[in-house]
């Protein structure tokens, strides 16, 4: 096990920010780092993850520059893991060689994404049906890191199975390659996010994993809404860490262990305004419409929220959103009443 993951395991349960395409981009990660007091006692996620990133794109000289933008990060977001996906071992080797030189704490391989296009190409969750190829891809990632003359760990994020529960046979295949950490989303591909995550199976999942590799760092993912909830799930299951995805939407304060009170309405929508401005500043290559998926998350649960949200959906840039929010606060006050 790498020194990085050894350190994480000593502080269990630790908390990770999940990789979500067009959500946990550099702008949102910086907002999370700021509002969760990352780097200060009791603050911030213990580990950041990048967005889901194509190894094929990185391996292509034509597409590389654009894909590399997904992997940009600031010192405020460290430690950060780069997540890659592919069904081609050679492209994984090339991509891992590139990523290993960028200063990441590790490389994570996505073997759980259920997106139709990703699955059609044999990557993501499709690799559950092809353990031989999955293992080749892990080995290729390690070779790429060696090519770069670096020593960073390799981990995998996956699910409990494809159409059925297959973790008892699937997870040992991954562990046989000596990965440093394993994140298990406690649903199958077939279930998507349509059913509750199977935390009732988490203890058995941990037993299966420990029977193969007693030292690997084990991270649980699925339906974790708070640090208290995650801590309880970790203790009951025997998992070392917890990864939080949807729970972070509209709540960049989530990873602040010392915060007791929920943010005021004014805090939430002012954070949204700052988020929109940062998105526009550092992600100029992306359309502002991507930012709009955050509006519903930030703007809900208070008087006037629906009307403000509808108005924000009509904005075309961060300045318009900021002006709209300032007008709302002037009319409704800091509590939205």
Element (H, E) at 83: strand 80-85
113 flagged as catalytic: yes
CA distance 1 to 223: 28
Could you give the angle at the alpha carbon of 82 between the alpha carbons of 78 and 85, nearest 5°?
A: 165
- Per the structure block, which two tokens stand in for 112? 């759980």
Residue keyed to tokens 């059913």: 195
| Nearest one of 12, 276, 50 to 155, comparing CA atoms | 50
Residue tagged active-site, from 81, 92, 113, 329: 113
Helix axes of 227-237 and 202-212: crossing angle, nearest 10 degrees: 60
CA distance 218 to 214: 10
For 237-304, the DSSP string reads: HT-SEEEESGGGTT-TTTT-TT--SPPPHHHHHHHHHHHHHHHHHH-TTS-GGGGGGGHHHHS-SSTT
- Taking residue 262's Cβ as centre, other Cβ atoms within 10 Å add up to 11
Q: How many helices (H) and strands (E) does the chain have?
A: 14, 8
Residue keyed to tokens 């990770």: 16
Give catalytic residues, as residue numbers: 113
């Amino acid at each position: 096990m790498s020194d990085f993951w050894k350190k994480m395991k000593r502080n269990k349960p630790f908390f990770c920010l999940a990789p979500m395409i067009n959500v946990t981009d550099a702008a949102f990660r910086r907002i999370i780092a700021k509002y969760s007091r990352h780097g200060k006692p009791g603050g911030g996620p213990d580990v950041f993850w990048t967005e889901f990133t194509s190894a094929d794109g990185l391996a292509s000289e034509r597409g590389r520059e654009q894909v590399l933008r997904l992997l940009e990060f600031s010192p405020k977001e460290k430690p950060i893991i780069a997540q890659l996906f592919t069904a081609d071992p050679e492209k994984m080797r090339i991509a891992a060689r590139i990523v290993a030189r960028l200063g990441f704490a590790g490389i994570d391989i996505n073997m759980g994404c259920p997106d139709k296009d990703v699955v059609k190409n044999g990557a993501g969750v499709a690799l559950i049906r092809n353990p031989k190829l999955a293992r080749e891809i892990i080995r290729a990632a390690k070779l790429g890191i060696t090519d770069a003359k670096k020593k960073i760990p390799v981990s995998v994020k996956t699910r409990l199975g494809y159409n059925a529960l297959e973790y008892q046979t699937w997870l040992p295949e991954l562990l046989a390659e000596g990965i440093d950490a394993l994140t298990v989303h406690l649903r199958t591909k077939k279930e998507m996010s349509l059913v509750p995550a199977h935390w009732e199976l988490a203890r058995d999942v941990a037993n299966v994993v420990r029977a193969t590799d007693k030292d690997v760092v084990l991270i649980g993912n699925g339906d974790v809404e708070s640090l208290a909830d995650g801590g309880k799930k970790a203790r009951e299951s025997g998992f070392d860490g917890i990864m939080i995805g949807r729970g972070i939407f509209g709540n960049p304060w989530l990873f602040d262990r010392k915060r007791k009170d929920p943010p005021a309405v004014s805090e939430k929508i002012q954070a949204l305004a700052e988020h929109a401005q940062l998105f526009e500043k550092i992600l100029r290559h992306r359309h502002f419409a991507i930012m709009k998926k955050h509006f519903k998350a930030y703007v809900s649960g208070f008087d006037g929220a629906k009307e403000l949200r509808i108005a924000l959906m009509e904005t075309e840039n961060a300045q318009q959103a900021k002006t709209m929010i300032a007008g709302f606060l002037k009319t409704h006050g800091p509590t939205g009443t």
